[in-house]
Amino acid sequence: MKNRGYGSKVVHVSKFEMRGFKSFGHKKVSLPLSSGLTAIVGPNGSGKSNVVDALSFALGQMSSKTLRTSKFAELIYHGEEDEDGKKPAPFAKVIIHFKNDDGALPIDSEEVKISRKVNHDGQSTYKLNGKRSSRQEIMELISEEILGSGGHNFVMQGDVDQLIEMSSTERREIIDDLAGVAEFDEKKSKALSELEEVDTNLQSQEGALEELKDRIEKLDEERKDALKYQELSSELKEKKAKLTFLQVKNYQEKIEGIQDKIENKDQKIEKLEGKKEKIEEKKSDLKDKLEEEKELLREKEESEAVSIAERISSKVQTLKEQLKEEENGLEALKDDISEMEEE
């Protein structure tokens, strides 16, 4: 069995073991295989075909009909009706040993063991080097195209006659498969499909790139508008600040002018108040003098002549008139003060 995936390296089956598989019974059967060509011979019904079935079974064969049974549970040894009275086996199990000292299989082990066991429910269990595994993992390791039971490295009964009866085109397909051409055709087809997908994605990306460019241009315009807005907003704030400053300055000047007027009026009021106090003092003095004159008049009424009394009376009248004038001046001054306070 030659591994095409690893150049000239060859996968060699060194041994395989069977237990409870078909006609091999309960006992563990071990068949060592030497390098080179190995032939298994024997009379009809001795189990030669079962050996090939065991290999195919262990390598993941999914069709029970290919193994010449209607279901996988029938691969289990079913016992014999004879004097020995052998009972059916509980399961069928096949283990294949591969020499891997040249690294033909992609696993870090000089020997690789693959096993498959089936129970009476038809459920299969796979193991790789003694550890539970899955058919998918086994197939990925050995590559079904190289070692798989469905490949052309297994020639079952009747396959030779079928090959002879095939058309030249069908035989060419098999030869291409054996030579690896079909594998490369499939890879080529897959690569072309991937290339087409990449081209589609590229066109899609180009469209997305154009949309992105348009979006960038739009964003650039929006950025310019935003910068212009910021510039105008800054200019507006500056002008508002200047206007506010001028308004405040104007108000301050008006307030200072009003304060000056108030101070001037306060000074005038203060002067008028001073005049008022002087007039009040003068009025008080005049009243005091009037009282003195009245007292003198009373004192002199009896001793002085009538002429003196008239003279005094005339003087009193004069003093009253002066007092009246001073009172009028005082009232006028009060009116001026009231008007200033109202202003």
Q: What pLDDT digit, counting tens, does each position of 171-180 carry?
A: 776 666 655 5
Residue 76: how many CB atoms within 10 A of its CB? 22
CB 98 within 8 A of CB 105: yes
Structure tokens at 161: 């006659």
pLDDT at 184: 64
Q: Is the pTM of this model over 0.75?
A: no
Instruction: Give domain 4-154's CATH architecture.
Output: 3-Layer(aba) Sandwich (3.40)
Q: 320: number of CA atoms within 13 Å, CB side?
A: 7
Indicate if the alpha-carbon torsion angle 33, 37, 42, 47 is positive or negative.
positive
Query: Which of 140, 155, 121, 178 is CA-nearest to residue 60?
Result: 140
Mean pLDDT of the chain: 81
> What pLDDT, on the 0 to 100 scale, is given for residue 5?
41
Q: How far is CA 301 from CA 167, 315, 317, 319, in A?
A: 182, 15, 17, 19
Residues 35-94: tens digit of each pLDDT? 778 888 888 877 888 888 998 899 888 888 888 888 999 999 987 754 455 788 999 999
- Residues 220-244: b if buried by 16+ CB within 10 A, e if exposed: eeeeeeeeeeeeeeeeeeeeeeeee
Measure the CA–CA gap between 313 and 294, rounded to whole angstroms. 9
Q: What is the CA radius of gyration of the chain?
A: 66
